[in-house]
Structure 1
Amino acid sequence: MAGGSTSSGVKAALILTAKRFASSLLTLFLVSVVVFTIAQLLPGDAAQEALGQSATVEQVAALRHEMGLDRPAHERYASWLSGMVSGDPGQSLVANMPVSEVISSRLPNSLLLAALTALVAVPVALSIGIGSAMNRGGRLDRALNISTLSMVAVPEFLVATLAVLIFSVKLRWLPSIALVSDDMSWGEYLRGAAMPIFSLSIVVIAQMARMTRAAVIDQMDRPYVEMAVLKGVHPVRVVLRHIMPNAVAPIVNAMALSLSYLLGGAIIVETIFNYPGLASLMVNAVTSRDMPLLQACAMIFCAAYLILMLIADVTAILANPRLRAQ
């Protein structure tokens, strides 16, 4: 009987996961349409940007034909989408090299920045959220709530600017520009990337801490927690052994949202500190009207977001039997 229940639970989880995956693929297709359409609506094109304002109409038209920019929009979209599906996002119109090669030189930097920021932000945010929930209504809770709310309200560019003013201009501890390269040692890299990591961590910690606090408090009001408290179980044990397993789904969702922000929302931070990542590459692609590169970067960010959300959904399904029952 128990085996049959387990089998049906696994089957339900697989079905729900398959539905989430199909929904993600449909969303990614719709995003591709939106990304391509918006990219085409940008004024100017790569041919005009490459030749400058002094170029004649004939020169621009000849270069547009050479780049394939004069083809109908639906043909260019079909060609680009088929290339993305097959793993060939096309040729960069500015760098005159495959988009995959341009991206491969920047993507590891963004992934490393995201990983180091998560390594710093996740433990701090979980500690703040759990500590605030355990002291709900107390002085510590109020102080942490005010701090995290203030951090959420401050935009990324202001955090980055203040970090430059304090740590670079005033204290002269860290460089104001993220000077990183492949031949750096770990110590040199951490010093060069410290400012972007700090700026991203501030926002991520605030968001994740508040969502963690809400998830833990939601479980603290449940009858099983009251029963554990009445039995004299230590508060820390109540949180770690009873509350956290049941609060894992919203916490994982908070972590997934934060990590997706690190991949796609770091555009401002990477631009301010001139960090050689994928976000700053996309900004350069917008400036130069390099549409294949711009579209590929946007799709990578969207795909990363959907993958993280899918992981969060699967984790929630596995951790919560009620979702499988639905």
Structure 2
Amino acid sequence: MLRFIGERALHAIVVVVLAATGAFFLMEAVPGDSAASAVGPGATAEQYQLAREELGLDKPVWTRFADWVGGLASGDLGNSLVPPNQSVVELIGNALPVTMQLAFLSIILSLAIAVPVAVWSAYRRGGVFDQVASIVAFAFISVPSFVAGLLLIYLLVFNHSLAQQLILGAAVVIGLAVALSPLGRRGGPGSPGVMWGRALIGGVAVGAVLALLALFLPEFPRQGYVPLADGLGENLRSIALPAITLALMEVAIFTRVLRTDMISTLQQDFVLSARAKGMPTRHVLVAEALRP
């Protein structure tokens, strides 16, 4: 284990060094002058020369590279050239909490949606629910995040009532897909009456949840981030749309990957053995097939 960790750490160091070196020399190859950008078009020759000295642009490239590596090693990332000229470390520190919260919420949201959808799609492979889930997943994958963000802003910020109507329509469609899912069932325990009864209850439950979501859909702010210290509710309301935007594509990817793995796992001998022993469907899907 220690050897494995050491090899991974060594690989990571090599990757970081190569990436940092490539980033430095790529920036050197970019057309333009950092000193001219810093002082602006109306600066005098003296101001321009002073800016070059302060930025170290009057030194040879290898000297600048050595100074830059030394600054990275000591935690000095320099200052931003875009007014207001702040420390890069300060800029990263201000953005890092928001970035971490967005990443955490989007992953949790995508897994909370993708896992049950993928498990049920694999169990009802080829059925109505599986086909609808596949169409939605491919649609999410096909839409870039920046386009999805604009659509969400258009619907949930500027057209709140239209968004509620669309969610109600989705509640009907998805509820019917769940209720009709036994049409594509391939074997499995349970009589047809029990099977249809469970599907009907599941369809009604899913439709009811989405309908309640449409009725109690909050109004989201147009812009701005509310820190967590100002209240959990306002914080989540301000960060919900970015988190949903990031989660949409992840939901589609997780769903497709997990569905494929679940279909293969459900054919394994230990799952077939659990079915032969009369284990409940929930136990077979969650405890036997999903866990590995």
**TM-score, normalised via structure 2 length:** 0.71
Equivalences for 1:32-111 in 2 at 5 Å? Answer: 32-94=20-82, 95-111=84-100
2:289 maps to 1:213: no
**Greater Rg by CA:** 2
Give me the whole-angstrom Cα distance separating, in 2, the residues matched to 1:176 and 1:71.
47
Contact 1:178 1:196 in 2 (8 A): no
- Percent of matched pairs sharing the same residue: 30
Equivalences for 1:86-235 in 2 at 5 Å? Answer: 86-94=74-82, 95-171=84-160, 173-181=219-227, 184-235=230-281
TM-fit CA distance, 1:243: 2.4
Deviation digits for residues 123-156 of structure 1, max 9, x if unmatched?
A: 1121222221121121111110111111011011
Contact 1:176 1:195 in 2 (8 A): no
Letter in 2 for 1:170: N
Larger deviation: 105-114 or 77-86?
Answer: 77-86
Give me the whole-angstrom Cα distance separating, in 1, the residues matched to 2:114 and 2:135.
14
Going from structure 1 to structure 2, the CA distance change for 1:98 and 1:170 (only over 3 Å counts) comes to closer
Contact 1:168 1:175 in 2 (8 A): yes
Taking CA–CA contacts closer than 8 Å with sequence separation of 6 or more, which of the two structures ends up with the larger relative contact order? 1
Deviation digits for residues 268-297 of structure 1, max 9, x if unmatched?
A: xxxxxxxxxxxxxxxxxxxxxxxxxxxxxx
Q: CA RMSD in A?
A: 2.3
TM-fit CA distance, 1:101: 2.1
Contact 1:92 1:98 in 2 (8 A): yes
Going from structure 1 to structure 2, the CA distance change for 1:190 and 1:45 (only over 3 Å counts) comes to farther
Contact 1:125 1:205 in 2 (8 A): yes
**SS of corresponding position for 2:254:** helix
Give me the whole-angstrom Cα distance separating, in 2, the residues matched to 1:51 and 1:32.
26
Equivalences for 1:287-302 in 2 at 5 Å? Answer: none
Letter in 2 for 1:161: L
TM-fit CA distance, 1:208: 1.6
Match of 1:259 in 2: none
Contact 2:38 2:81 in 1 (8 A): no
Letter in 2 for 1:33: T
Contact 1:168 1:176 in 2 (8 A): yes
2:75 maps to 1:29: no
Contact 2:78 2:87 in 1 (8 A): yes
TM-fit CA distance, 1:178: 3.2
Say how many residue pairs are matched. Answer: 234
Contact 2:119 2:290 in 1 (8 A): no
**TM-score, normalised via structure 1 length:** 0.65
TM-fit CA distance, 1:194: 1.9
Match of 2:173 in 1: none
Match of 2:181 in 1: none
Going from structure 1 to structure 2, the CA distance change for 1:37 and 1:182 (only over 3 Å counts) comes to farther
Unaligned runs of 5+ in 1: 1-12, 247-326
TM-fit CA distance, 1:56: 4.3
Give me the whole-angstrom Cα distance separating, in 1, the residues matched to 2:280 and 2:3.
39
TM-fit CA distance, 1:25: 2.0
Give me the whole-angstrom Cα distance separating, in 2, the residues matched to 1:243 and 1:81.
49
**SS of corresponding position for 1:106:** helix
Give me the whole-angstrom Cα distance separating, in 2, the residues matched to 1:231 and 1:127.
24
Unaligned runs of 5+ in 2: 162-218
